[in-house]
Amino acid sequence: MSLLLLLEQTLNGIQFGVFLFMISAGLTLVLGIMNVVNLAHGSFYMLGAYYAATIMAWTGSFILALVIMLPAMLITGIVVEVLVLRTMYERDHMDQVLATFGLILFFNEAVRMIWGAESMPMDIPAFLSGHVDFIPDAPYPIFRIAIIIAGLLVAALLYVMITRSRTGMLIRAGASNRPMVGALGVNIRMLYMVVFGMGAVLAGFSGLMAGPILSVEPGMGEDMLILAFVVIVIGGIGSIRGAVVASIIVGIFETVGRSILPALLTQLMSSDAAQSMGPAMSSMLIYIFMAAVLFFRPEGLFPARTG
């Protein structure tokens, strides 16, 4: 493998990592602050993509899709919070897992009934299509660069909001001592509702960015959900910094791993066996990596201060 290709694959890995971060951010926020395991996060990601694809099909505008999708996701998130999640805060994780598992089943089937079982069309908007050549002979899609920029913006925004703003301060306080903040006259209910809604918006936003290059279809969130969980567990639950680092690591691991592993294995065994072992091993690689991290650091790379 040439050095240029390795460079390109590393870039691919970083881009995939940034994309993973976008999905993981909302999940780690909800889990870290509210201590709620929300499997339906993948469903929000799917809904975001479907909302956006629908609006794009009507209006043809990606910007309009973004502008309408975000509040729509906020409302969806809040409705789910009020109807289901609100009663779940005091419950143990197992109850949360099962109830949100029920939500996954519901949303997948609802999407199938409303939009049909086939993939829904969604194209790259004209102003983000095309590619640039910053690695020789390897034109890079502009939309993927847009994903990297969007992901960095999300990270910066979250960082500023949580560490610098009053809301962020309340959120952090509420996470460490809920009754105390409540006693100080802060409406914790409202706060949690907003945080959960924000989680849904973040998931929906990554769905919007995924739509034009991945496939918009029922159940599209499940695969990503598991990867997102891997990311936040490696990074340390509730830690945005951890999520950034872990998603980039996982992204590079996944991407570079699956492109060089078959080649490496060919040195060790017959080409045929290597060809089929390679992908199998690379799909297990991140899980092994996660197990290794948790074995030595049971609370992830960057344990958040609060449980």
Partner 1 sequence: MMSRAKILCLLIGFLVLVAIPPATTALDADFYMGLAARMMIFAIAAVSLDLLLGYGGMVSFGHAAYLGTGSYAVAILAFYGITDGFLQFAVAVGASALVALIIGFICLRTKGVYFIMITLALTQMLYFLGISLEEYGGDDGINTDRSEFFEWFDLGDDTNLYYLILFFLVLSLWISWRLINSRFGMVIRGSQSNDDRMQAIGFPTFRYKLTMFVIAGVICGVAGFLLANLTEFVTPEYMHWFRSGEIMIMVLVGGMGTLFGPVFGAIAYLLFEEVISDFTEHWMIIFGPILVLLVLFARKGVWGMLPGRERGDD
Partner 2 sequence: MKIKFIAMTAALAMTATPVMAKTIKIGFINTFSGGAAIYGKHQKDALELALDHKGRKIGGLDVEVIYGDDQRKPDVGRQVAAKMLQKDKVDVVSGIIWSNILAAVQKMVVRDKTFMITTNAGWSHMAGKGCNPYFFSTSWNNDQSPEAMGKLMQDEKIDNVFLISANYQAGKDMLTGFMRNYKGKIAGRILYRLGQRDYQAELSQIRAAKPNAIFGFVPGGMGVAFGKQYRAAGMHKTIPFYSVFTIDYLSMPGWGKNAIGTYSTAYWDVSSKRPDNQKFINDFKKKYGYHPSLFAAQAYDLPFLLEYAVSAVKGDLSNKKGMIKAMEKVTYLPTKGKFSYNTNHMPIQNFYKRKVVADANGDPQVVTESVVLRDHKDAYYKQCKMRRP
Using CB under 8 A, list all residues that contact partner 1: 31, 37, 84, 87-88, 91-95, 97-99, 101-110, 112-113, 226, 229-230, 233, 237, 276-277, 279-280, 283-284, 287-288, 290-291, 294-295, 298-300, 307
Give the CA distances from residue 59 to residues 49, 53, 126, in Å, rounded to whole numbers and listed in that order. 15, 10, 14
Least separation in angstroms between residue 271's CB and partner 2 is 9
Q: Which stretch binds partner 2 (CB under 8 A): 14-22, 95-103, 229-237, 289-297?
A: 14-22
Least separation in angstroms between residue 281's CB and partner 1 is 8
Give the CA distances from residue 22 to residues 143, 168, 191, 269, in Å, rounded to whole numbers and listed in that order. 15, 19, 22, 38
Nearer to partner 1, 11 or 81 (CB): 81
Q: Which stretch binds partner 2 (CB under 8 A): 90-98, 175-183, 197-205, 250-258?
A: 250-258
Return the DSSP state at 118.
S
One of 60, 71, 102, 130 touching partner 2 (CB under 8 A) = 130
Nearer to partner 1, 77 or 211 (CB): 77
Instruction: Give the count of beta carbons closer than 10 Å to the beta carbon of residue 98.
Output: 13
Nearer to partner 1, 211 or 257 (CB): 257
Give dist(CA 46, CA 220) in Å, integer: 6
Nearer to partner 1, 84 or 213 (CB): 84
Least separation in angstroms between residue 30's CB and partner 1 is 11
Residue 114 makes contact with partner 2 by CB under 8 A: no
One of 151, 197, 207, 212 touching partner 2 (CB under 8 A) = 212
Give dist(CA 260, CA 248) in Å, integer: 18
Tokens of 63: 């910007």
Q: Is 113 exposed, middle or buried (0-12, 13-18, 19+ CB in 10 A)?
A: exposed
Identify the sign of the CA torsion 160, 163, 164, 168: positive
Alpha helices in the chain (DSSP H): 3-34, 41-59, 62-83, 93-115, 142-164, 166-176, 178-183, 188-210, 221-235, 240-268, 271-296
- Would you say 50 and 216 are in contact if contact means Cβ atoms under 8 Å apart? yes
Element (H, E) at 132: strand 131-135
Among residues 252, 234, 191, 285, which one has the least CA distance to residue 15?
252
Q: Which does 104 bind (CB under 5 to 8 A by kind): partner 2, partner 1, none?
A: partner 1
Q: Which does 57 bind (CB under 5 to 8 A by kind): partner 2, partner 1, none?
A: none
Residue 120 makes contact with partner 2 by CB under 8 A: yes
Tell me which residues in 44-63 interact with partner 2 (CB under 8 A). Answer: none
Tell me which residues in 217-236 interact with partner 2 (CB under 8 A). Answer: 217-220, 223-224
Residues at the interface with partner 2 (CB under 8 A): 1-2, 4-5, 8-9, 12-13, 15-16, 19, 108-109, 112, 116-121, 123-124, 129-131, 137-141, 143-144, 212-220, 223-224, 255-256, 258-259, 262, 275-276, 278-280, 282-283
